[in-house]
Amino acid sequence: MKHNLPKLPYDYDALEPVIDEQTMLIHHTKHHQGYINKYLNALEGSDLLDKDVEAVLRNLDDVPDKKRQAVINTGGGYYNHRLFWEILTPKDTELSKDLTHAIDRDFGSFDNFKKEFSTAAKTQFGSGWAWLVVTPEKNLKVTSTPNQDTPFSIGTPILGIDVWEHAYYLNYQNKRPDYIENFFKIINWEQVSKNFINA
């Protein structure tokens, strides 16, 4: 199958002022493209390239030992950013009733969820991601991962925030908490609600 850099569903400057045009351009065309290129290199000649990267990451036991860490790093970067672009939007969107109910059930309230997610994002030491995942029991859970690790061992991610400095440094420098707070203004809740149904 083809492993192309996915087109963004909006312009590079569409998420300003939350995320600036230059950050989006570099993040998409350099970082994300770089992970895809390195993933293709790591698995060159392997029939694992016939599968979608998500299927490969969900079945890491099928990856040869000496390629596994490279797949975790580069395939993770490939997959994580693909999800990240999808769950952002410049438009005002709303959570579905189902997702609202599930958040209330599992976190008590949307505010509690936001607090827990933001704390996970703030306290992820160094580079990584914070996630909202759907567990196999269909519960919502907040978690975080280092580097480009994916959260599949805990559940299917439906929302994630990239807290690598490359995601925010031009605009926010060391102020990761401000980036996280503003991130909530550009979440595509329609897409997250779809992800919730499909998880």
Select 140 or 167, whichever has its Cβ closest to Mn ion: 167
Cα R_g (the chain), whole angstroms: 16
Residue-wise burial string across 73-101, b where 16 or more C-beta atoms lie within 10 A, e elsewhere? bbbbbbbbbbbbbbbbbeeeeebeeebee
The window from 17-25, 41-49, 132-140, 158-166 that contacts Mn ion (CB under 5 A) reads 158-166
86 near Mn ion, rule: CB under 5 A? no
Would you state the structure tokens that stand for residue 121, as one six-digit string?
Answer: 């994002």
Select 39 or 107, whichever has its Cβ closest to Mn ion: 39
| Smallest distance, Mn ion to C-beta of residue 31, A | 5
Select 116 or 162, whichever has its Cβ closest to Mn ion: 162
Contact assessment for residue 21 and residue 171, using Cβ atoms and an 8 Å cutoff? no
162 near Mn ion, rule: CB under 5 A? yes
* Nearest alpha carbon to residue 37 among 75, 87, 93, 86: 75
Select 12 or 107, whichever has its Cβ closest to Mn ion: 12
| Smallest distance, Mn ion to C-beta of residue 168, A | 10
Residue 122 and residue 128: Cα distance in Å, rounded?
Answer: 10
Select 135 or 147, whichever has its Cβ closest to Mn ion: 147
The window from 7-15, 87-95, 102-110, 163-171 that contacts Mn ion (CB under 5 A) reads 163-171
The window from 45-53, 104-112, 115-123, 166-174 that contacts Mn ion (CB under 5 A) reads 166-174
Select 79 or 164, whichever has its Cβ closest to Mn ion: 164
Distances (CA, A) of 58 to 55, 76, 193: 5, 11, 22
Contact assessment for residue 171 and residue 23, using Cβ atoms and an 8 Å cutoff? yes
| Smallest distance, Mn ion to C-beta of residue 83, A | 11
Contact assessment for residue 20 and residue 171, using Cβ atoms and an 8 Å cutoff? yes
Query: Which residue is closest to Mn ion by CB?
Result: 162
The window from 34-42, 138-146, 159-167, 188-196 that contacts Mn ion (CB under 5 A) reads 159-167
3-state secondary structure of 181: helix
Residues within the interface to Mn ion (CB under 5 A): 162, 164, 167
